[in-house]
Chain A
């Protein structure tokens, strides 16, 4: 398995309990939807997976690593195994599309010789190869999100995590985005997507985990 939560509780310092006694398993190569209302704990759950936050109680294991015991200086190397996609894209607006996508490679000390090829491959995958010189601000919302996805996969991570990736997009654009995730999953990447858009779950027929007020409400095998 790739992700394992065992009786995980997350309480923030100000006292809010975002997750309560959550347990689940996501297998390697799976594609899983994380659903629930706003404030149900979807983002918190993803923050625990990506080690933006530590669990208050319980155990989180990702890629065989117990995150509670991961040394601080190892965190960057752990994050390099994960591609992250954010609702607000989190692109750097002073850099070109190419440089934004290249950033994870630059950060991990990738050899400059192979960098261009890898970045172009990632941009080609999301259909933005011809926009590599553009500044992100000149792109549409859907295009910016696809740049964000190219950046998430350029490192060829084993796990792709997306938090409301289509929150600001219309139906047609969000279909495109989810089709991309589906395609990455088809090529072996484990994908975890938090969304409140139940339409995609039905359309793609994947497993979903539903959170409500910090508790795991149900774990359903596809809508079918």
Chain B
């Protein structure tokens, strides 16, 4: 067991040594792998951030009921109380025309123009927060909006987050697209590593021949190449992580500035621990598999009767 462990350790160190002996070609292939992994990795990270962003919006999803202009404060409060009996509704905020005007003034920058108005044209507004069950189901939400719109006190029933729904659907599509891209680029990584392994095998053909002659198993011949492929994928994955983190830190400050202008506390987050581990380990697994397949193909030449040994 100890001997086995020592042998693997030696092979591992040997594979690292081989990579470091050809710094140019190793760096080149690892960079290519890194780019191929950073692309889908970065896209996923971006997608995660957009998801987080929209989730923040959805959390406060509410229906605005613009009441008819003749409705006074008492009627508005009455409506609020009666609507709050509904199971479909979690709670309701009442916004008076004065509050609305104050907010409008502070936000729009039209304070002077608004001051010149003699009366407040804004109606009472009820902000209806639907229950969780309704907030999550687009069809139930739609019927609720419809229902509320039919009330005679209500002039307009509006759900502000239609675009969020559309965005969510779009993101779903994007997620699938990224999976396809990830698969294609993963295949690219597989081929890049396969090619460097193929070159390494060609360089060590004589060594393989001798090892086979003196009774080396296929597993013994394969081992250093498997480690080499795995390390290339591993380093490529780590390098890709680095690229993603640099990229995100590069655009994080302007993003924060932009989102604060819209009054949203949002900060970019690069890949979390779990997806990071997934990215690096998928690099390593692809490398290992690629080496396994490539060496397997070449080892067939060294069987009896193939004229190679």
| Nearest CB in chain A: distance from B289 CB, A | 21
Q: Which of B261-309 contact A (CB under 8 A)?
A: 303-305, 309
| Nearest CB in chain B: distance from A165 CB, A | 15
By the criterion CB–CB under 8 Å, are A75 and B214 in contact? no
Q: Which of A59-101 contact B (CB under 8 A)?
A: 72-73, 75-80, 84, 90, 92
Chain B residues near A92 (CB, 8 Å)?
Answer: 206-207, 210
Chain A residues near B6 (CB, 8 Å)?
Answer: 112
By the criterion CB–CB under 8 Å, are A107 and B214 in contact? yes
Q: Which of A51, A75, A107, A109 contacts B211 (CB 8 A)?
A: A107
| Nearest CB in chain B: distance from A101 CB, A | 11
Q: Does A108 contact B (CB under 8 A)?
A: yes
Interface magnitude class on chain A: 20 to 34
Chain B residues near A103 (CB, 8 Å)?
Answer: 210-211, 214
By the criterion CB–CB under 8 Å, are A84 and B214 in contact? yes
Majority SS of interface residues in chain B? helix
Whether A109 contacts B3 in the complex (CB less than 8 A), given A52-B304, A54-B304, A54-B305, comes out as yes
By the criterion CB–CB under 8 Å, are A51 and B217 in contact? no
| Residues 44-61 of chain A, each 1 if its beta carbon lies under 8 Å from chain B, else 0 | 000000111110000000
Chain A residues near B206 (CB, 8 Å)?
Answer: 90, 92
Interface magnitude class on chain B: 20 to 34
Q: Does A117 contact B (CB under 8 A)?
A: no
By the criterion CB–CB under 8 Å, are B210 and A53 in contact? no
Q: Cα distance A76–B219 when bound, in Å?
A: 11
Chain A residues near B7 (CB, 8 Å)?
Answer: 106, 109
Q: Does B213 contact A (CB under 8 A)?
A: yes
By the criterion CB–CB under 8 Å, are A151 and B214 in contact? yes
Chain B residues near A112 (CB, 8 Å)?
Answer: 3, 6
Q: Does A104 contact B (CB under 8 A)?
A: yes
Chain A residues near B220 (CB, 8 Å)?
Answer: 76, 107
User: B211, B217, B218 — which one has the most chain A CB atoms within 10 A of its CB?
Assistant: B217
